[in-house]
């Protein structure tokens, strides 16, 4: 009886949780539940910063009446930043398994269509486009293992590019994410705040989000400083709240700036996969996220060529572009 009484409160607590999990199955997964809590926390932080500003600063309300465009631009950036956050969080980073399925479906579609002998290296398959380097496809169909092996130098062992966790062949720059338990193309990192990996499929969206978030933090900081400059001695508890929020905002701003300026350290001037500034910007910002790009490892001669310092003749021949 004593044991039953001790266990009864736990059972009473588990019943509503079980009902909640049945209504919202995503909450049953601890990983998704923590990711959802982080998203709610981030949106709440944004609302607190903007809400406190409009609640305390009466001059901002008067300025809004006189110059509505100023506040409209701020609110537009505020909403756009949150939209970009969720767009990045919900986007696919480019999983290796999805690329494998796309290549497989493309081969199946080719075999069913007899008049496709002149099919190009970039072939549409639904909403996806499998894009490979020009010299990779000797025929119109190619297996995933053959495709990956052609991306590595001759003589490389299959063990060097096979994932030891999910047992799939990884193209160059792919890496297994232990948080998502999947291999990601051009894996950069797993963002805890987004609850998502950053890879080939959403790297551009991630950097646009960082840019918008940084701009929003800077603008909000300017508004906070302007208010404190004009009302620093009026109501002490309001000033204390705003100063505390401003200090926290400064920490977030430093963190965002470091993320924007962060890049992986490569010895000297060697950037093995660099195509030049112009092409790098094009592939990074203008290529659709549904395009799978498989880049072969550069040879030793190519790395030595890219590591050579730039000269005036290189600028004329657009080597650095």
270 versus 242: the higher-pLDDT residue is 242
**CA–CA gap between residue 249 and residue 64 (Å, rounded):** 23
Our answer to whether residue 180 is catalytic in this structure is no
Q: What is the CA radius of gyration of the chain?
A: 26
CA 58 to chain centre: 38
Average pLDDT of the residues of the chain: 76
pLDDT at 238: 83
184 versus 139: the higher-pLDDT residue is 184
Q: Are 87 and 196 in contact (CB under 8 A)?
A: no
Most confident of 21-35, 118-132, 201-215: 201-215
Lowest mean per-residue pLDDT among 17-26, 271-280, 284-293:
17-26
When pLDDT is averaged across residues 252-264 and rounded to a whole number, the result is: 79
Active-site residue, from 177, 191, 197, 204: 191
Per-residue three-class SS string for 237-269: HHHHHHHHHHHHHHHHHHHHHHHHHCCCCCCCC
pLDDT in tens, 144-187: 888 888 888 777 776 678 888 888 888 988 999 988 889 999 89
pLDDT at 313: 60
Closest CA to 179 of 24, 319, 29, 69: 29
Q: Is the pLDDT of residue 302 over 90?
A: no
pLDDT at 161: 81
When pLDDT is averaged across residues 284-311 and rounded to a whole number, the result is: 69
pLDDT in tens, 194-230: 889 999 888 889 989 999 999 999 999 999 998 888 8
Lowest mean per-residue pLDDT among 3-7, 62-66, 262-266:
3-7
Q: Is the pLDDT of residue 188 over 70?
A: yes
* Banded model confidence at residue 14, pLDDT cuts 50, 70, 90: low
**CA–CA gap between residue 294 and residue 103 (Å, rounded):** 12
* Banded model confidence at residue 117, pLDDT cuts 50, 70, 90: very low
* Banded model confidence at residue 320, pLDDT cuts 50, 70, 90: low
**Residue spans per domain, the chain:** 27-107+144-294
When pLDDT is averaged across residues 63-82 and rounded to a whole number, the result is: 90
CA 257 to chain centre: 16
Q: Give the residues across from 131 on adjacent strands.
A: 293
pTM of the model: 0.75
């Amino acid at each position: 009886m004593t044991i039953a009484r001790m266990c009864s409160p736990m059972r009473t607590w588990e019943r509503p949780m079980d009902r909640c999990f049945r209504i919202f199955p995503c909450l049953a997964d601890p990983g998704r539940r923590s990711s959802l809590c982080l998203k709610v926390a981030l949106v709440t932080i944004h609302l607190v910063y903007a809400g406190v500003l409009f609640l305390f600063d009466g001059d901002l309300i008067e300025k809004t009446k006189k110059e509505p465009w100023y506040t409209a631009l701020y609110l537009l950036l505020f909403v756009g930043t949150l939209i970009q956050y969720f767009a990045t969080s919900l986007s696919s980073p480019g999983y290796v398994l999805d690329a494998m399925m796309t290549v497989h479906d493309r081969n199946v579609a080719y075999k069913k269509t007899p008049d496709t002998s002149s099919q190009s290296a970039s072939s549409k398959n639904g909403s996806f486009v499998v894009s490979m380097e020009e010299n990779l496809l000797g025929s119109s169909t190619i297996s995933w293992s053959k495709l990956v092996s052609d991306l590595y130098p001759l003589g490389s062992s299959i063990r060097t590019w096979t994932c030891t966790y999910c047992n799939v062949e990884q193209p160059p720059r792919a890496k297994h994410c232990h948080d998502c338990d999947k291999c990601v193309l051009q894996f950069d990192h797993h963002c805890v705040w987004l609850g998502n990996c950053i890879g080939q499929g959403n790297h551009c969206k991630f950097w646009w989000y960082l840019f918008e978030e940084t701009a929003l933090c800077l603008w909000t900081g300017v508004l906070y400083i302007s208010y404190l400059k004009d009302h620093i001695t009026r109501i002490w508890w309001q000033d204390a709240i705003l100063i505390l929020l401003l200090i926290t905002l400064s920490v977030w701003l430093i963190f965002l700036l470091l993320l924007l300026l962060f890049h992986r350290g490569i010895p000297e001037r060697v950037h093995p996969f660099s195509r030049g500034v112009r092409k790098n910007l094009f592939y990074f910002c203008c290529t659709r996220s549904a395009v799978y790009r498989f880049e072969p490892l550069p040879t030793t001669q190519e790395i030595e060529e890219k590591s050579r310092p730039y000269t005036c003749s290189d600028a004329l021949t657009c080597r650095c572009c």
